[in-house]
Chain A
Amino acid sequence: MKNAKVFLIAFFLLTFQVVFAQKSSILLKISPTFAGNSFNLTNQAFETKDTTGLRIDVLKFYISNLRFYQNSKIVLEEKNRFHLIDAAHQKSMEIAIESTQKIDFNAIKFDIGIDSATNVSGALGGDLDPTKGMYWTWQSGYINFKIEGTSNLCTSRNHEFQYHLGGYMQPNYALQTVSLPVKNTETVVLNFDIKAFLQQVNLAKTSHIMSPSIQAVSLAKVVAHSFTVIEN
């Protein structure tokens, strides 16, 4: 009987919490850009008109473990949540983060890719389902970041380049953490600057990275540095 009372009180408190707490939601929008112009791959590839003849066919990557900070103190985090961002799917480019209360924040952190522990956890669903094309088959492990296209700078067949960056074991652990100061707004727009990324990549020298390696890790670092926040 005593147990029942405790249960009832707990239930009441919980209900109170749910009804009266100030729920809020933050929208994180991911926007691939080239020299300041945003684009998506929903219906067609992205092409530049300059002499490099750059074309982007595929841009997919994971954003995981989103954390919001206020003066270096964590105020909101998504534990074990993995978002597959696919420039060809507009819906995947927006992440809504629910909070049980209104929060103030001035910085965000997130990981590009999938952590080691998740990489050895067997078959997973949702955005981590291997049918999403972000899992290596000949050797276990998630692809954290995938970009494919062509450029006249490439000396490869058909001027193609393909970077599949991943690796969950040291010394080739490719997961990268991005930290950015942000304004306390309901919508945060995150910009991934393809031009900045490609400027750091020697397309003429390396057109294909398809497995975990030191080179993949250093390119993953370039990816992490190519994120900025667009100020409204």
Chain B
Amino acid sequence: MKQKLAIFLGFCFILVSFRSANDALFKIPQNFPKPVYDFTKNPLTENKVQLGRALFYDPLLSRDNTISCASCHSQFSAFTHVDHALSHGIDDKIGFRNSPALMNLAWQQTFMRDGSINHLDMQALAPISNAVEMDENITNVVSKLQSSVLYKNLFQKAFGDTVITGEHTLKAISQFMLTLVSSNSKYDSVMRKQAVFSSQENKGYVLFKKNCGSCHTEPLFTNDAFKNNGLTTDTSLMDFGRYSVTRKAADSLAFKVPTLRNIEFSYPYMHDGRFKNLNQVLKHYTHGIEHSKTLAKELRKPIQLSSNEKVDLIAFLLTLTDKSFLFNPNFFYPKEIFSGKAKD
């Protein structure tokens, strides 16, 4: 009987410790919906997240070991490419789009501005292989990792196997990206009744709900859908967005609705980074909408905002800044992991 009790308690302990370990790495914030990502197929562990973090910051992923994920996704700009309309990659080659900010990825169904990637695990393959981003391929990446003592150890710790696979590499990168949760902005504190909006922010919030909230739905500030938001087509890019994936006429010029969280730091804006600041963005929505067959129905009626209202709206948008995310040391360059590298 005693033995049975001990086994039972041991089992409970394993369950509890497993849960708390997971919670420390990823917790669904209050008011957030259920994540899309299936964590049962890739349960987070500290060692896997740390391996993913090393991979995210390691230029080994590129053909000539110069470009890492972080090259175009720096933390202080909410993991986008600050100040670059179109991101540049290997050999200073200019890309096709503005790199998206990375946060709350566990709630995203598809990835990329056109949703061409169907699962977070598969996302990294695109920049690794793109000729103007990293110009490498996953098979080579795995063989480079396999010949590194550092990574052999990290994979051993994470997956209990020194044989490195594409599957494990991609899953580890996912693990780190899944931990990039931003949910501690002033907006969140207000929603949790731990703070209050200023009267200007509050006016802005009302305007936001009326004019923007149907696509930039709370609390993620995106509905994860594809919409044509009335941008004039850039003829030097001829980017038709979602259409290139589905080949459906109705998807022409539709792009993923981006989150507005941390928008203060994720400039420039739009899929091609054409707007440098939020004033330009609001001016587009009030005066710049180009009408076409595929224009989002939400934008068919003109949005009217006075210049004072625009100031109020921007004041609200700035409450979406989450400093605890932008400066979270858990997401920093992993010096402590790489410092051992010289010994390889």
**Chain A residues close to B by CB (< 8 Å):** 119-125, 128-133, 135, 137-141, 169, 172, 213
B152 interface contact, C-beta 8 A:
no
* Least distance between B331 CB and chain A CB atoms (Å): 22
Interchain CB contact under 8 A, A141 and B118: yes
Chain B: which residue is nearest A141 at the CB level? B118
Q: A129-B167, A139-B116, A140-B116 are in contact. Are A121 and B126 (CB under 8 A)?
A: no
Q: A122-B38, A123-B122 are in contact. Are A131 and B165 (CB under 8 A)?
A: yes
Chain A: which residue is nearest B143 at the CB level? A131
B254 interface contact, C-beta 8 A:
no
* Least distance between B110 CB and chain A CB atoms (Å): 9
* Least distance between B290 CB and chain A CB atoms (Å): 27
* Chain A residues whose CB sits within 8 angstroms of the CB of B117 once the complex forms: 139-140
**Contact mask B271-290 → A, CB, 8 Å, 1/0?**
00000000000000000000
Interchain CB contact under 8 A, B118 and A119: yes
**Chain B residues close to A by CB (< 8 Å):** 38, 41-42, 116-122, 125-126, 128-130, 137-139, 142, 165-168, 170-171, 174, 245-247
Chain A: which residue is nearest B248 at the CB level? A171
Interchain CB contact under 8 A, A125 and B129: no
* Chain A residues whose CB sits within 8 angstroms of the CB of B170 once the complex forms: 122-123, 130
- 4 closest A-B pairs by beta carbon, nearest first, are A122-B121, A123-B121, A137-B129, A131-B166
* Chain B residues whose CB sits within 8 angstroms of the CB of A128 once the complex forms: 167
Name the one of B38, B138, B247 contacting A130, with C-beta atoms under 8 angstroms.
B138
Could you show 9 A-B contacts with beta carbons less than 8 Å apart?
A120-B118, A122-B119, A123-B42, A123-B174, A124-B167, A128-B167, A131-B139, A132-B166, A137-B129
Cα distance, A138 to B119, chains bound together (Å): 13
Across chains A and B, the number of contacting residue pairs, with CB separation under 8 Å, is: 71
* Least distance between B148 CB and chain A CB atoms (Å): 16
* Least distance between A215 CB and chain B CB atoms (Å): 12
Cα distance, A169 to B246, chains bound together (Å): 9
* Least distance between B37 CB and chain A CB atoms (Å): 8
Name the one of A119, A125, A133, A139 contacting B167, with C-beta atoms under 8 angstroms.
A125
* Least distance between A173 CB and chain B CB atoms (Å): 13
Interchain CB contact under 8 A, A140 and B138: no
* Least distance between B168 CB and chain A CB atoms (Å): 8
* Least distance between B44 CB and chain A CB atoms (Å): 14
Interchain CB contact under 8 A, B126 and A122: no
Interchain CB contact under 8 A, B165 and A140: no
Interchain CB contact under 8 A, A130 and B119: no
* Chain B residues whose CB sits within 8 angstroms of the CB of A131 once the complex forms: 138-139, 142, 165-166
Name the one of A119, A130, A132 contacting B125, with C-beta atoms under 8 angstroms.
A130
Cα distance, A196 to B167, chains bound together (Å): 36
Interchain CB contact under 8 A, A137 and B167: no
